[in-house]
C-alpha cells in the first residue's frame, strides 16, 4: 500500500516550515520518528516566541504599564485559543500548567485528596503512561481508596466488557485514561468510557497529551470532566501544558500550588483564593511559552486536525506493512484504522536500545525503552520496545529509511 497523502495535507511542503530538517545527523538527513515523545517546532512558533520577547515581554496581570498590558493580552489570548482548541465552554475553565503531567497531578492532589477514601475505587487502564498511573496510585494509597486497572486485549485495546466486574463491591469515583496510547497508538473510546463513568457516579479524566495533537477534541462531546494536554507534543514549546475542567468542579477544589497571583486576600489569620483560572496559577507563569503554545495551536489548526489524523493512519498502515515485509519483527497494537501514527515493535533477538543506536548512525531517530508504560510492558511480556511515531511533517521516505536501517541492524547484530 502506498501512502496516498490526503489532498489536504502536504507533509513535504510542511517540512519546509521546520528548521530542524536542515540539520544533518552523522552526515545524513534527519528522519525524525519520535514525535510521540515531542514534536518539532515550525518557524511560525519560533518567530512568535522571539517577537513576543523582543516587543511585548513583561510579567502579566501585575502592571498597569503598556508592556505588561501587551503581555497580558498575549497570554490571555493564548488561553482563549487553548480553550477553544478543545471546545471548552469557557476560557476560565482552562488552566495553564507546566505539562500534561502537572495537569494530572493537579487533579489527583486537589480533587483526590479531598474526595477519595476507603471503599472508593480509582480506575486507570493497562495502557497508561506513568503520568496518569503513578499519581493516582499514590493518591489512592494516601486516601485508602482502591486502585484498579482495566486490562487490554491482545490487540492492545481496552476490554470494556470487563468494566462492571472490575468495580464490583466498590464505589468508582475516578476513571482516568489516555486518549491515545503513547506506546501502542490505540485510540481509546472516550465517549463510551465517560458514559460508563457517569452512570456509576464517577468523574472522567482524559489525558489527551497524544490525542490533542492528532485529533479534533471536543470536551463537551466526549462528556469528560477533566482533560489534560500539553504544548510540546503539538509543535509548541516545552514548559507549558493545559488542564480543562468543569467550572463547578474547579470551583470546589482546593488550590494545588500556593503563592502569588492565586489569592484574593491575604491576612495573618487566613487567605482566600482568586477567581478561576487564577486560583490554580500560582507564581510567574510560563508566559512566552503559553504565547508559543497559542501559535502552535494556530499552526496545527491551519493544517487541520482531521487531515492530520487521516494522514497519520495512512503512515501507520504503511509502516506496519513495511515491517511485516521485513519479517522477524513483532509489532504491537491495533489495526491502523484504530490507531494514531505510532508503531511499536521488536526485532527478533536484538535489544531495542541496540536497534535505536544503529539507526541513529543512519540519521533515523526512534525511541527505545518502556515508554513510561511499565505495566503495559509487563502485559506484552517485554522489558522494552522500539517505537516509531509520526506527525504532520513525516514523509513515507523516512519510514523507508527506517526499514533500510533495520536491515542494516540485522546485518550488524543479527
Ligand atoms: C500518553 C501520554 N500521557 C502523558 C504524557 C505526559 O505529558 P507531558 O510530557 O506534557 O508531561 C505523555 C508524554 O509522553 C504521554 O505520551
- CB of 122 within 6 A of ligand 1: the answer is no
Quick check: is 372 catalytic? yes
- Residue 102 class from Cβ within 10 Å (0-12 exposed, 13-18 middle, 19+ buried)? buried
pLDDT at position 11: 97
- CB of 211 within 6 A of ligand 1: the answer is no
**Is the pLDDT confidence value at 257 over 80?**
yes
Of residues 224, 235, 372, 373, which has the active-site annotation?
372
CA quadruple 101, 103, 108, 109: dihedral sign: positive
Least reliable range by pLDDT among 62-66, 71-75, 240-244, 281-285: 62-66
Q: Report how far residue 374's alpha carbon sits from residue 369's, in angstroms, rounded to the nearest whole number.
A: 10
CB 280 within 8 Å of CB 261: no
Distance of CA 267 from the midpoint of ligand 1 (Å): 38
Distance of CA 186 from the midpoint of ligand 1 (Å): 15
Looking from the CA of residue 241, the nearest atom of ligand 1 is 10
C-alpha 120: how far from chain center: 27
- pLDDT bin (cut points 50, 70, 90) of residue 325 is very high
Phi-psi region of 123 (alpha: psi -120 to 50; beta: other; left: phi over 0): beta
**Is the pLDDT confidence value at 390 over 80?**
yes
Task: Give the residue, by CA position, lying nearest to ligand 1 atom 16.
Answer: 182
* Contacts for 177 with CB less than 8 Å, ≥ 6 apart: 124, 125, 127, 128, 132, 150, 158, 188, 190, 193, 205, 206, 207
pLDDT at position 315: 97
124-170 tens-digit pLDDT: 999 999 999 999 999 999 999 999 999 999 999 999 999 999 988 78
Least reliable range by pLDDT among 17-26, 87-96, 165-174, 403-412: 165-174
Distance of CA 237 from the midpoint of ligand 1 (Å): 14
The pick from 124, 130, 131 for probing ligand 1's pocket by mutation, whose C-beta has the most ligand atoms within 8 angstroms, reads 131
- CB of 182 within 6 A of ligand 1: the answer is yes
The pick from 181, 210, 286 for probing ligand 1's pocket by mutation, whose C-beta has the most ligand atoms within 8 angstroms, reads 210
- CB of 285 within 6 A of ligand 1: the answer is no
349-388 tens-digit pLDDT: 999 999 999 999 999 999 999 999 999 999 999 999 999 9
CA quadruple 326, 328, 329, 330: dihedral sign: positive
Distance of CA 180 from the midpoint of ligand 1 (Å): 10
- CB of 100 within 6 A of ligand 1: the answer is yes
The neighbouring-strand residues paired with 227 are 206, 244
Mean pLDDT value of segment 391-412? 97
pLDDT at position 169: 79
Task: Give the residue, by CA position, lying nearest to ligand 1 atom 5.
Answer: 209
Mean pLDDT of the chain: 96
- Residue 412 class from Cβ within 10 Å (0-12 exposed, 13-18 middle, 19+ buried)? exposed
Helix or strand or coil: residue 354? helix
Distance of CA 185 from the midpoint of ligand 1 (Å): 13
**Is the pLDDT confidence value at 5 over 60?**
no
pLDDT at position 4: 60
Strands 28-29 and 342-347: unpaired
Distance of CA 28 from the midpoint of ligand 1 (Å): 29
- pLDDT bin (cut points 50, 70, 90) of residue 63 is confident
Mean pLDDT value of segment 293-318? 97
Amino acid at each position: 500500500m502506498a501512502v496516498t497523502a490526503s489532498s489536504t495535507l502536504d507533509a513535504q511542503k510542511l517540512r519546509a516550515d521546520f528548521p530542524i530538517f536542515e540539520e544533518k545527523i552523522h552526515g545524513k538527513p534527519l528522519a525524525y520518528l519520535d514525535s510521540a515523545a515531542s514534536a518539532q517546532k515550525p518557524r511560525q512558533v519560533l518567530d512568535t516566541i522571539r517577537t513576543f520577547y523582543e516587543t511585548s515581554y513583561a510579567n502579566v496581570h501585575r502592571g498597569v504599564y503598556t508592556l505588561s498590558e501587551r503581555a497580558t493580552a498575549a497570554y490571555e489570548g493564548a488561553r482563549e485559543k487553548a480553550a477553544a482548541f478543545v471546545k471548552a465552554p469557557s476560557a476560565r475553565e482552562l488552566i495553564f500548567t507546566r505539562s500534561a503531567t502537572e495537569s494530572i497531578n493537579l487533579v489527583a492532589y486537589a480533587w483526590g485528596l479531598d474526595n477519595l477514601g476507603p471503599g472508593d475505587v480509582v480506575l486507570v487502564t493497562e495502557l497508561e503512561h506513568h503520568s496518569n498511573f503513578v499519581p493516582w496510585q499514590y493518591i489512592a494509597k494516601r486516601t485508602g481508596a482502591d486502585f484498579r486497572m482495566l486490562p487490554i486485549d491482545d490487540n492492545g485495546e481496552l476490554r470494556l466488557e470487563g468494566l462492571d466486574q472490575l468495580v464490583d463491591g466498590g464505589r468508582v469515583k475516578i476513571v482516568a485514561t489516555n486518549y491515545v496510547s503513547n506506546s501502542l497508538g490505540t485510540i481509546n473510546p472516550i465517549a463510551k468510557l465517560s458514559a460508563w463513568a457517569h452512570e456509576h457516579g464517577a468523574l472522567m479524566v482524559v489525558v489527551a497529551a497524544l490525542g490533542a495533537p492528532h485529533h479534533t477534541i471536543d470536551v463537551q462531546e466526549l462528556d469528560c470532566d477533566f482533560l489534560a494536554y500539553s504544548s510540546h507534543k503539538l509543535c509548541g514549546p516545552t514548559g507549558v501544558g493545559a488542564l480543562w475542567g468543569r467550572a463547578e468542579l474547579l470551583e470546589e477544589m482546593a488550590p494545588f500550588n500556593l503563592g502569588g497571583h492565586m489569592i484574593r486576600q491575604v491576612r495573618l489569620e487566613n487567605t482566600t483564593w482568586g477567581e478561576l483560572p487564577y486560583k490554580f496559577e500560582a507564581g510567574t507563569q510560563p508566559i512566552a511559552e503559553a504565547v508559543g503554545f497559542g501559535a502552535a495551536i494556530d499552526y496545527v489548526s491551519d493544517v487541520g486536525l482531521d487531515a492530520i489524523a487521516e494522514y497519520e493512519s495512512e503512515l501507520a498502515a504503511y509502516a506496519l506493512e513495511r515491517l511485516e515485509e521485513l519479517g522477524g519483527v513483532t509489532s504491537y497494537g491495533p489495526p491502523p484504522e484504530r490507531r494514531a501514527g505510532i508503531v511499536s515493535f521488536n526485532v527478533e533477538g536484538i535489544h531495542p536500545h541496540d536497534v535505536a543506536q544503529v539507526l541513529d548512525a543512519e540519521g533515523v531517530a526512534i525511541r527505545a525503552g518502556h515508554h513510561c508504560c511499565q505495566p503495559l510492558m509487563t502485559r506484552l511480556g517485554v522489558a522494552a520496545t522500539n517505537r516509531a511515531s509520526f506527525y504532520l511533517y513525516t514523509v513515507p521516505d523516512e519510514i523507508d529509511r527506517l526499514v533500510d536501517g533495520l536491515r542494516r541492524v540485522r546485518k550488524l547484530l543479527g
